[in-house]
Structures are given as structure tokens and as C-alpha cells.
């Protein structure tokens, strides 16, 4: 399957890209994230406090991934 992965804020800056196409078989977003981290260059995604969205809707890492999905990763936002 192929999914489009988007990166926002400091994740985009750390990886030097805002999006990529990823091919593989992923049961859920956690498996996709683990695959990306294992590839190298995506270490920032290993952070414990990470937010994600599937097809523009916030979700958890256990959200299933389907062919053609758009998955976004972004850091949590804190205010003051």
C-alpha cells in the first residue's frame, strides 16, 4: 500500500521535508511510525508526545491505516 505522510512544525524542520510517499504494509499508525523511525532520519517521530491525524482528523497511534490514506505527524502544542 502507499500512503502520503505529512510533517508539520519542528518535525518538518528536523527532517528537512514536509511530505513523502511511503510504501509498505502498516496495520496502524504506530506501525507506520515505527517503520519510518527504523529507516533512519525520522528519529524525531520516536518522541512520546506526538500528535497524528488520518485524513485530516485527529486520531491515536492505534488508528488503522488504509491504502491511499494521508497521515500527518506533528508535535504537541503547549501554551503559556
Task: Enter the C-alpha cell of residue 47.
Answer: 518522541
pLDDT band at 77 (very low <50, low <70, confident <90, very high): confident
Q: Mean pLDDT throughout 70-74? A: 97
Q: Regarding the domain with residue range 2-75, which homologous superfamily does it belong to in the CATH classification?
A: Beta-grasp domain (3.10.20.30)
Provide the pLDDT for residue 79: 54
Provide the pLDDT for residue 78: 56
Q: What is the pLDDT of residues 27-55, one digit of tens each?
A: 999 999 999 999 988 999 999 889 999 99
Domain segments of the chain: what residues?
2-75
For residue 52, what are the β-bridge partners? Answer: 59, 73
Q: What is the pLDDT of residues 6-20, one digit of tens each?
A: 999 999 999 999 999
DSSP 19-62: EEEEES--SBHHHHHHHHHHHSS-GGGG-SSEEEEETTEEE-TT
Amino acid at each position: 500500500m502507499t500512503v502520503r505522510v505529512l510533517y508539520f512544525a519542528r518535525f518538518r524542520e528536523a527532517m528537512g521535508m514536509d511530505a513523502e510517499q511511503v510504501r509498505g504494509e502498516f496495520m496502524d499508525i504506530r506501525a507506520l511510525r515505527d517503520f519510518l523511525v527504523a529507516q533512519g532520519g525520522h528519529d524525531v517521530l520516536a518522541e512520546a508526545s506526538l500528535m497524528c491525524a488520518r485524513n485530516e482528523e485527529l486520531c491515536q497511534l492505534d488508528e488503522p491505516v488504509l491504502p491511499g490514506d494521508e497521515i500527518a505527524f506533528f508535535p504537541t502544542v503547549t501554551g503559556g
